[in-house]
Amino acid sequence: MRIENKLMLVLFFLLAACGSGQPDAAQVHAYLIAHPEFVLDNPDVGEAVKSAAEQRRRQAEETGRRKLLEVNSPLIRSVLTPTFGNPDATVSIIQFSDYQCVPCKKTYVELDSVKNSRNDIEVLYLELPVYGSVSDLAARAAIAANINDVFPEYHHLLMLNDAGLDVARIREAAIAAGMTDWQVENSFNDPEIKNYLAQIRVFAEELDVNGTPTFLIGNQLVRGAVTAPQFNVFIDRNLSAKTR
């Protein structure tokens, strides 16, 4: 029996025993105020209250996230944001990542296999450079790659790059992906791209993202590396929640 149900049952019998029949909320409240020791004497009741509080906290977080997603929709759906898949998909995966982040690279392969195996998801890649200056420049070039329709190629090359990253390697990857030298150089100093990335950073902090990779799968925040089976569980959970 769930602990919350147990709490209600206990209270019900307790109050019924007092001859008051089906207790209403006011009666429960009055009883507990008059007999607070009841909670102290029944640790499982305290646990139930904690659990209810935790559930309420989670709900508040989810509501907050939903609002943030709504407010930031123009940013998330900006033409600068690289996307994959069906924009009408039931489940959206927002990925915050950095090209120097090892778990991001590990997750890249996992997410890739998920992308290839199902058509009911959409992935939005939000660049969140947290590893310093080189990551900043790599993120700027990524947005330029998206503008120039070569983001998947560029992303693939940098995510599979297991050597250190520097400006020369960023250039090399961008050019191999199909960008010109001028486009790469321009991306490093493009004020529109810099401003867009700054806004992504603010959005991430509002979401309480404190590292990479972080995923927002539907409305669920998932921190750290994720395997393909885990992705599928999160996606299916979101799908079933939406179906319900």
Partner 1 sequence: MRLGKLLIIFFISQLAVISPLYAGAPVNVTDYPSLNEKQIGHVRHMINLANKLDGDWSMMGNTGGGMNFDAYQFQIAFAAYALAVTQDHFVPAHRDLYQDTSARLIKKMMYKDVWDYWAQMSKGEWRIDENGEDHYYTEDDWFGWIDPNIKQNIMYSGHLLQMLGLHESLFDDDRYDKPGSLTFNFAPVAYGESPLEIVYDHSRLATVIYDQFVEDDFRGIECERNKVYTECNQHPILGLIHYDYKHGTSYAPLVQEEFKKTIINRGYVHPDTHTTMLSLDVHLDEVIHKTYAWSDGWNGLVHHAWDKEYVEALYDEQVKLYMPQMLEGEPGENMGWTASFDFGWLAVLAAEVGDAATVNLMLEYADQYFNPTWLDGGYYYPHTSDYKENFRRDDEGKIGNISPVTGNYLVGFARLMPKDGMWSLYNRTRDNEFFAQPYVDGVDYSQATVSQAYYDSGEDALIVTIVPSESASNAVTFAVNQLEFGTRYQIFRDGESIGIAGSNESATAWNSEQQLIISNELDSPHSYVIVPASSLVKDSR
* SS3 label, residue 161: coil
Position 163, amino acid: A
Q: Which stretch binds partner 1 (CB under 8 A): 8-16, 102-110, 131-139, 144-152?
A: 131-139
52 binds partner 1 (CB under 8 A): yes
What residues are paired with 217 via a beta bridge?
93, 220
CB 39 within 8 A of CB 46: yes
CB 45 within 8 A of CB 8: no
The least CB distance from residue 46 to partner 1, in Å, is 8
Q: Which is nearer to partner 1, 133 or 240 (CB)?
A: 133
The site string for partner 1 over 67-106 (x = CB under 8 A, - otherwise) reads ----------------------------------------
Of 32, 89, 167, 228, the residue at the interface with partner 1 (CB under 8 A) is 167
CB 223 within 8 A of CB 211: yes
CB 118 within 8 A of CB 235: yes
Per-residue buried b or exposed e for 169-196, using 16+ beta carbons within 10 Å of the residue's own CB:
bbbebbeebebeeebbeebbebeebbeb
112 binds partner 1 (CB under 8 A): no
DSSP-derived letter for residue 206 is H
Of 205, 224, 236, 242, the residue at the interface with partner 1 (CB under 8 A) is 205
38 binds partner 1 (CB under 8 A): no
Of 21, 36, 132, 178, the residue at the interface with partner 1 (CB under 8 A) is 132
133 binds partner 1 (CB under 8 A): yes
Residues that bind partner 1 (CB under 8 A): 46, 49-50, 52-54, 56-57, 60, 128, 130-134, 136-137, 166-167, 185, 188-189, 194, 204-205, 208-211
